[in-house]
Amino acid sequence: MKVIIIAAGKGQRISKEFKEIPKSLIPVNGKTILERQIKAFESNNISEIIVISGKHNQFDNKGMKIVKDFENEKHDILGSLMVAKNFLQGEVIILYSDIIFDENIIHQILNTTKDIAIAIDLDWKKSYEGRTEHPFSEAENVLLDKKNNIVEIKKNIQSTSNIVGEFLGIIKMSEHGTKVFLEKIDYLQKNHTGKFHNAVSLEKGYLTDMIQELINNSIQVSPIFISGKWCEIDTKQDLNRAEELFK
């Protein structure tokens, strides 16, 4: 099992103090987001960590492999992930670099036997209380049908008849799932032009856009319903909340 952390973005929305460093190097009560992520994986006996950085690597290489995205300013999540696609083999976990979580959440994710699965929080709405800088409408939502099949994934899904959860920003894939995922990325790189789901281009896409592409092509993406502490850190309010949750 290997972990790919997409960490080429900066913390510009949080404060001037952090706008020139990768989000994952922002400290939460003395430990960076990245340190907390790595500890959660190591606690689950996962030590192969690949970090995708921007062109100016600011990471300590100790204990991880650094892959530089020299065009990170032109890319978003998918563009950076494609730079590291040589690592898409075997069992893989892919995640955003601006989330922290209990190690138990990783344990729950590892328990899935599905080929491609994503972590979802069904009890997500309470975490948006008081988040005026990061409102409810910015949540990456997952729409599920009555049989818990994932129907749609994007920001701000409104539904009163179906279940809606929040995507944590973590994908877990088996060896076969990784092969399917990579084949789809290769195909898109060769053949796709223009808008990509909710992104202006493939390279500017998010994991949510790629997940929707898989679903639209009848590739099964399964939910992992998690419980436990986690949070995304995108604003100063988010950072304050994280420091309350993770002492």
- Report pLDDT for 49: 97
- Report pLDDT for 94: 99
User: What is the domain partition of the chain in residue ranges?
Assistant: 2-245
pLDDT in tens, the chain (247 residues): 999 999 987 767 786 778 788 889 999 999 999 999 999 999 999 999 999 999 877 888 778 999 999 999 899 999 999 999 999 999 999 999 999 999 999 999 999 999 999 999 999 999 999 899 988 899 999 999 999 999 999 999 999 889 999 999 999 999 999 999 999 999 999 999 999 999 999 999 999 999 999 999 999 999 999 999 999 999 999 999 999 999 8
Contacts from 66-71 at CB under 8 Å and sequence distance 24+?
Answer: 69/8
Torsion sign across C-alpha atoms 116, 47, 247, 5:
negative
Q: What beta strand segments (E) does 18-176 contain?
A: 27-28, 31-32, 48-53, 65-68, 92-96, 99-101, 116-121, 140-144, 150-155, 163-173
- Report pLDDT for 30: 96
- Report pLDDT for 245: 96
- Report pLDDT for 11: 66
DSSP letter at 10 equals: B
- For 159, other C-beta atoms within 10 Å of its C-beta total 12
Closest C-alpha among 193, 172, 239, 184 to residue 216: 184
- Report pLDDT for 81: 98
Pick the CATH number of 2-245 from 3.90.550.10, 1.10.20.140, 3.60.15.10, 1.10.3720.10: 3.90.550.10
Report how far residue 214's alpha carbon sits from residue 9's, in angstroms, rounded to the nearest whole number: 25
- Report pLDDT for 183: 98
